[in-house]
A and B are shown apart, each in its own frame.
Chain A
Amino acid sequence: MRRWILAALLPCVYGFSPSDPAWTAADRLDARHGVPFAGTLWLMSDVTTWDALPGSMAVRIALGREPKSGGGFRIGWRSVHWPDGATNDLEGAVVWRASQWRAECALGQLRFKGERASRCSPRVWVAVSPHLVTGGSITVFPRGAPDFAIEAKSSAGPWLLGLVLHENASEAAVGIEARPGLTVILRYANDAPAMGIVLDTRSLELRAEAEDHPLLGRIARVTIRWMRGRS
């Protein structure tokens, strides 16, 4: 018992690090909503298609600076095109990071013709241990009820585990680092199983994901991310 208590107190003695395995798990399991590697300047782009929406495609480009400690930022543009319309989404966020926690506040606006929908999303992550981070976010809209999410990401050896709870949905993900630079991820969300493969060459990351959604059909997404300053 004493051994376990000492192990639990070790991070408090030796301190937390922004490159603890749990933060890596948060990034690996979800590049879009996770926590980028600390100390990097990154640029990413992804393309998404849906089987049940012929002729539709979403493209996203984002740039950010993730600090090891102190302030950072993230900006992104996302466009969804379909045969008779297109939306454009702009989002910017300020990030503040310390060794044991990370906070960000994002402001976004989605536009379609003359229509606009704005949102504000504060989000906080806390490292409970080097192998477990938990977080929560709220997305507020000028009209309508807000969206809540509670998240947890964990790493144990080569295994990565993630859980996200929304008000009326949940998502579970498990990943394994099959070999250095190659991670396989299985995800179950919205009654839809998904699989992803991540190839990581330190400064460049390539991610391919496929989801079998009961209504949207096969959802395919390819992501590429370039990073500078990764230690």
Chain B
Amino acid sequence: MRGSLCVLLLSVFLVERGWCGIAITEIVVRPAGGEGEWIELAAPDSMAVSLDGWTIRDATGRARSLAGVVPGQGFLVLAARPDSLRDRYRLPESVAIVHPDGWPILNDHDAGPGLPADVIVLADANGAVQESVAYFEDWLPPEAGRSLERVDTRMPAVIPGAWGWSIDPDGATPGRVNSLAAISGAPEDVLSGPAEAAPRARPAVFTYRLPGSGRIDIRLIDESGREVALLKEQGPSPPVGSWTWSGGSPVPEHPGLYFLCLRWQGGKERIRRCRAVWVTP
């Protein structure tokens, strides 16, 4: 609670001071292999921004100097191990990767009840905070290597609904447009996905956007309201996420119209959202 309050005050301060046009758009706190932690920065406007004199710091408050240029409408990646990151995601030389001193810096466990796991604060050459995000443990994908993606840079980074787990097959999208950008214009509490699914032939990806992190389960219901299958057992979920229906999950025995239903519980708040899907076993 105290951490959230700090971040909120920080964001108000940020709005008061004016924004230079750099956004934190993707974070990997739990790397899969040797690529280490990394943070993607983007310049949504067409103007390039030099990071000379800029700093980045975490909850400990220790500032690390940055360098390089974020190209207009482009990306720059801050990485603990730039070469490994470039190899893992086959990033071209055109994608700038910078290694700030003193990495790794990010924690993946909440600092205490109501306190975020860590805070990332980006400050310009004048020391003014340009962007900050305080993330909590339950925002982070349990799967190593999957990134936490910013859904929409127009939403303040401090809002839980601004972040979600990457749905890219590689698990992350360093140096390119985020995989969740496709649902950035979607309203909250929505379940989207294909109108037809043949999970045994090809996986079907369903994405959802919820008011906050919580616990979800996904079930398949037939037209008469009977439960056909429990597709995803109740588990933690970020505000924005995806679920892939593949051949390994239960599939109904005969083709037809079914309702794919997601149930979300965040504290005392509950949401039910369903989607009609033609399913071919």
**Residues A115 and B280 in contact in the complex (CB < 8 Å), given A215-B219, A216-B259:** yes
A window 78-97: CB within 8 A of B: 80, 82, 84-85, 87
User: Tally of A-B residue pairs with Cβ under 8 A?
Assistant: 80
Which residue of chain B lies nearest to A142 when distances are taken between CB atoms in the complex? B254
Residue B274, interface by CB 8 Å: yes
**B226 near A190 (CB under 8 angstroms)?**
yes
**B254 near A144 (CB under 8 angstroms)?**
yes
**B257 near A211 (CB under 8 angstroms)?**
no
Identify which of B225, B226, B253, B278 contacts A144 (C-beta below 8 A).
Answer: B253
Residues of A within 8 A of B196 (CB): 85, 112-113, 115
**A143 near B278 (CB under 8 angstroms)?**
no
Identify which of A53, A112, A214 contacts B259 (C-beta below 8 A).
Answer: A53
Residue B125, interface by CB 8 Å: no
Which residue of chain B lies nearest to A141 when distances are taken between CB atoms in the complex? B254
Residue B17, interface by CB 8 Å: no
Number of residues from B at the complex interface, CB < 8 A: 26
Number of residues from A at the complex interface, CB < 8 A: 32
Residue B255, interface by CB 8 Å: yes
A window 107-163: CB within 8 A of B: 110, 112-113, 115, 117, 141, 143-145
Residues of B within 8 A of A110 (CB): 256-257
Tell me the B residues contacting A by CB distance below 8 Å: 195-196, 219, 221, 223-227, 252-257, 259, 261, 263, 272-276, 278, 280-281
27 A-B pairs within 8 Å (CB atoms) are namely A52-B273, A53-B259, A53-B276, A56-B276, A82-B195, A85-B195, A85-B276, A87-B257, A115-B278, A115-B280, A117-B254, A141-B253, A141-B254, A143-B253, A143-B281, A144-B253, A168-B226, A189-B225, A190-B224, A190-B227, A192-B225, A211-B225, A215-B259, A215-B261, A215-B274, A217-B274, A219-B225
